[in-house]
Structure 1
């Protein structure tokens, strides 16, 4: 049995120093694409983090609230009226304040922060540590603070990650931080406090034209029956509820709200386009780097290739050879880039609170881009060999 010589492998590994430089070049381009994709995914993941915490069948928001960060609300009375629907089992409001919410740690300037109400009934928000800390915020003037809030707030923490005793003001009134939650930041919110619903009346009395508890940011609705409702039932109930006050609110499933929020950030904001352009630039940079690497490698082996071509080897042989070499080079560069990316993502998430998530699908996308980058470079570098007469290559 005749064994073929693995030319693609030997062309790469015969010069270890060159291979190391080639791996570093491809890895750099892959890390650049990982970084741009990571920030883009953080942009799309972070605004829907709070939506993923809603434990309900339907959600309602104002028709004017085209994204969650916009302070547009609907009357609380609509939720009360929704209880009259025979399919509705329970409702719960979520109050969110950003415009009036300024928090200040003693000795530091005030900063805007997001304040979210804790539902009166347990089990509506699946936020880490929330239910365990519910009893801590029963006294007036207390709050839970997101442990991932930006360091610029200057919150002080003890060795267990709990807030220390410190002088803190919210809307120019004293407030005590008595526990933590885990929610994360996004591009519109750098930190979060959670308080009892009544605190909105105490700290933001001018909210809702002087009726701070009578306007709702997000309404949570649960339907009667065991198990998950069918899509048909959800759509029918949503249509009936919207008809209660046409033009005032929209009712949809949490998944639909996630999709709407993601599409807005992806297509209606320049930030999403910027990160997409950044990924494209990383791809182009990688093509240039790989082209130089592969072109030099082919140029050095040109006499050998000329001999093979003179012996009658067809062009498809050289195309296959360079394809194999390009795929191997992409793997050599991708693996260390993946390791570096894990550390980079962890550092960014720890520092900023943004959800830098890396799953199999996202890693696979960058691997495909890296492979395509190397293949494109290889085909560009191969043009001279495919067009030339064997005699001219010596």
Structure 2
């Protein structure tokens, strides 16, 4: 019956092609739109993800890594004294202005790291070394953000917060959710650029000792610092992403576009399969006339639906891989986890099954005598 089902499916190649296009369109849309959304929103937690810290300690009700409130730097000594803390490093994040050679200005996000540990510094470098920020006036810019600051060369001077800054290296792929470029430098230098006292910082990045209980250490920090909040890196990454999802329309816009396209593609698939089954009513009447059972008729419909779903999904995922390779950029990454791909295939398969089995009730009433007409 499986061979018969495939032959019946490919008999009308026009309708088969239409249904395949619908399946491919649906799979590509879900994966590419979903990948763009995940790639974009994932940048909201970039600093948290690449920091390597186990715990983040900041102001009460901290909800976005790019918009911190200052806390006293002296708190770091209380954290370091807690059993299970391997190290704790101050971290500064703040917005200021970079003056460009043309006389224009660019808003930048200064990130200050402890000069000894470089905790929270850029994870990937395109040119130079992270440790170069220890040299006088040194800063790092991202290679993909150079156009925003008029393409400074290595060793070229800029003015950040009305203070001199020398570009000593380029990071790779450190592009945040905001349009403002990141400027990595040392802790004390960042205070000068941001014009804030050196005894104030934004966060403390905590690394746990091997075998330490994160929950217990977190409770100990909160007990010693009741005016601070402590989150695991994972929790703060989720909080930073949730901040933008709740306060902007990005989730709704991407979801609506993906959902609308998905519905259109699946309607095409469903309508084509439904019409295809009904158009072959005489063929099903012939099967019933030669003794095919109801179970065999259902197996024909299921086989056609599964074949169409698998063939269309395979073509769709191949196109997705091509689009991801050709179109993904650091500014617009396409991040497609396997769960999204598998989910799109399952969804398309369910729709194909439903569209093929929906006309089954009509096929049950088909009179085998149609073959005699």
Superposed pair shares fold, TM > 0.5: yes
Does residue 8 of structure 2 align to residue 11 of structure 1? yes
Q: Distance in 1 between matches of 2:98 and 2:297?
A: 66
Equivalent residue number for residue 153 of structure 1: 148
TM-score, length basis structure 2: 0.85
Does residue 353 of structure 2 align to residue 375 of structure 1? yes
Among 320, 324, 338, the alignment partner of 1:360 is 338
Query: Against the structure 1 CA distance between its residues 33 and 86, is the aligned structure 2 distance closer, same or farther, given a 3 Å change threshold?
Result: closer
Equivalent residue number for residue 285 of structure 2: 306
Map residues 41-80 of structure 1 onto 2, 5 A cutoff.
41-80=38-77
Does residue 111 of structure 2 align to residue 116 of structure 1? yes
Unaligned runs of 5+ in 1: 158-162
Is the contact between residue 42 and residue 357 of structure 1 (CA under 8 Å) also seen in structure 2?
yes
Which stretch shifts more, 195-204 or 6-15?
6-15
Instruction: Give the aligned length.
Output: 371
Deviation at 1:262, TM superposition (A): 4.2
Deviation at 1:360, TM superposition (A): 2.4
Is the contact between residue 111 and residue 190 of structure 2 (CA under 8 Å) also seen in structure 1?
no
Is the contact between residue 283 and residue 369 of structure 1 (CA under 8 Å) also seen in structure 2?
no
Unaligned runs of 5+ in 2: none
Q: Distance in 2 between matches of 1:87 and 1:290?
A: 57
Which stretch shifts more, 78-87 or 166-175?
166-175
Deviation at 1:17, TM superposition (A): 5.0
Q: Deviations over 1:282-304 (max 9, x none)?
A: 33112211023213422442211
Is the contact between residue 59 and residue 220 of structure 1 (CA under 8 Å) also seen in structure 2?
yes
Deviation at 1:194, TM superposition (A): 0.8
TM-score, length basis structure 1: 0.81
Indicate the RMSD between aligned Cα atoms, in angstroms. 3.1
User: SS in structure 1 opposite 2:328?
Assistant: helix
Equivalent residue number for residue 305 of structure 2: 326
Q: Distance in 1 between matches of 2:2 and 2:160?
A: 72
Query: Against the structure 1 CA distance between its residues 316 and 276, is the aligned structure 2 distance closer, same or farther, given a 3 Å change threshold?
Result: farther
Is the contact between residue 108 and residue 154 of structure 1 (CA under 8 Å) also seen in structure 2?
no
Query: Against the structure 1 CA distance between its residues 57 and 307, is the aligned structure 2 distance closer, same or farther, given a 3 Å change threshold?
Result: same
Deviation at 1:383, TM superposition (A): 5.0
User: SS in structure 1 opposite 2:52?
Assistant: coil
Q: Deviations over 1:255-311 (max 9, x none)?
A: 332343344455665322333333332331122110232134224422111222344
Q: Distance in 1 between matches of 2:36 and 2:2?
A: 43
Among 106, 122, 128, the alignment partner of 2:124 is 128
User: SS in structure 2 opposite 1:201?
Assistant: helix
